[in-house]
């Protein structure tokens, strides 16, 4: 079992590469998605040092499959229900059948705009497991919560949704401070490292845990974050929309 870490944290385990996830959110048309795929497929040949996953909008999932296996696919969300009369929902099983390996759950945009609660997220987590998907579970505090010194408490509350998840199942947690998402104001490496160490302590019973940082990651700031122990990779929004920029982030990881 992996040791819980202090602020120093741990680098990706020996032989394990950084995981870099592109979260496209609700961006791109299908022609734009296809153009990205074709350009990035050429770039990705030289990016074997990292593990890459792409989370496009649902309709583009089959288009975005990597022919050479250079990246895997991720869903941006899934339903807490298995199937049935839930118009507009997408199940974990559907994602798996479209080739997804990962699913992002609990992104702060979903928590905020769609009022996703811990109870709902534990249902989504259960569905993801049943479908064999690896969750990328997002947590992070707002600026107000940070200013009030509540960051640790917020993270503790948010990870409670993983309580019933089997401890031996692989899980990726993305630490994404809400104030850093899409703002151009990334957390400093020290801030990211501190909260990531807290997350590792909270989830000390997990056998296979990777913790990513997300929030205004760019090709310019990626290497100072990636070189910090304990940061196993990135969840990238805006800077993942452009193929050279995203490849630059992937190249920045040691
Ligand atoms: P950003 O988004 O990189 O545009 O800040 C990150 C995310 O929301 O996952």
- What pLDDT, in 10s, does the model give residues 64-94? 999 889 999 999 999 999 999 999 999 999 9
141 is catalytic: no
- Look at residue 13 in the predicted model and tell me its pLDDT: 57
Per-residue pLDDT reduced to its tens digit, 105-140 = 999 999 999 999 999 999 999 999 999 999 999 999
Q: What is the mean pLDDT of residues 141-148?
A: 96
User: Would you state the pLDDT for residue 242?
Assistant: 96
Looking at per-residue pLDDT, the higher value among 13 and 82 belongs to: 82
Output the CA 63–ligand 1 centroid distance in Å. 23
Q: Does residue 96 register a pLDDT over 80? A: yes
Reported confidence tier of residue 15, pLDDT bands at 50, 70, 90:
low
Q: Give the rounded distance of the alpha carbon of 55 from its chain centre.
A: 9
Residues in the chain: 254
pLDDT of residue 254 exceeding 90, the answer is no
**Rounded-to-integer distance, Cα 153 and Cα 61, Å:** 36
- Ligand 1, closest atom to CA 218? 3
Nearest Cα residue to atom 3 of ligand 1: 237
For a ligand 1 pocket test, name from 23, 76, 138, 225 the mutation site with the most ligand atoms within 8 angstroms of its C-beta: 23
pLDDT of residue 7: 35
Q: How far is the CA of 55 from the centre of ligand 1 (A)?
A: 12
Q: State both tokens at 101.
A: 């390996």
Q: Predicted confidence band at 33 (pLDDT cuts at 50, 70, 90)? A: very high
pLDDT at residue 4 is higher than 70: no
Question: Token digits for 26?
Answer: 């609700």
Residue among 240, 242, 191, 244 nearest 217 (CA): 240
d(CA 244, CA 99): 24
pLDDT tens digits, one per residue of 42-66 = 999 888 899 999 999 999 999 999 9
Active site residue 115: no
Q: Provide the pLDDT for residue 126.
A: 98
Average pLDDT over residues 19-32: 98
Q: How far is CA 247 from CA 40, 198, 222, in A?
A: 7, 30, 11
Query: How many C-beta neighbours within 10 Å does residue 138 have?
Result: 26
Catalytic residue among 93, 107, 116, 194: 107
Lining residues, ligand 1, CB within 6 Å:
23, 176, 181-182, 214-217, 235-239
Of all protein residues, whose CA lies closest to atom 6 belonging to ligand 1? Answer: 237
85, two tokens:
């009369």
Q: Relative to the CA of 25, which ligand 1 atom is closest? A: 8
């Amino acid at each position: 079992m992996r040791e819980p870490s202090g602020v120093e944290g741990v680098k990706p385990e020996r032989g394990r590469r950084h995981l870099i996830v592109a979260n496209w959110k609700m961006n791109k048309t299908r022609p734009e998605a296809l153009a990205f795929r074709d350009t990035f497929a050429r770039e990705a040949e030289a990016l074997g040092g990292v593990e890459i996953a792409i989370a496009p909008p649902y309709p583009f999932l089959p288009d975005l499959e990597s022919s050479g296996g250079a990246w895997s696919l991720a869903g941006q969300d899934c339903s807490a229900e298995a199937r049935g009369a839930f118009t507009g929902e997408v199940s974990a099983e559907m994602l798996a059948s479209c080739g997804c390996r990962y699913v992002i759950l609990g992104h702060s945009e979903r928590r905020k705009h769609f009022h996703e609660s811990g109870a709902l997220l534990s249902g989504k987590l259960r569905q993801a497991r049943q479908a064999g998907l690896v969750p990328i579970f997002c947590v992070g505090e707002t600026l107000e919560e940070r200013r009030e010194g509540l960051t640790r408490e917020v993270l503790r509350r948010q990870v409670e949704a993983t309580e019933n998840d089997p401890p031996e199942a692989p899980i990726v947690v993305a630490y994404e401070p809400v104030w850093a998402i899409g703002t151009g104001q990334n957390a400093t490496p020290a801030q990211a490292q501190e909260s990531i160490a807290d997350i590792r302590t909270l989830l000390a019973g997990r056998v296979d845990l990777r913790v990513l940082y997300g929030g205004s990651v760019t090709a310019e700031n990626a290497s100072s974050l990636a070189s910090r122990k304990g940061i196993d990779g990135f969840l990238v929004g805006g800077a993942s929309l452009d193929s050279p920029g995203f490849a630059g982030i992937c190249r920045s990881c040691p």
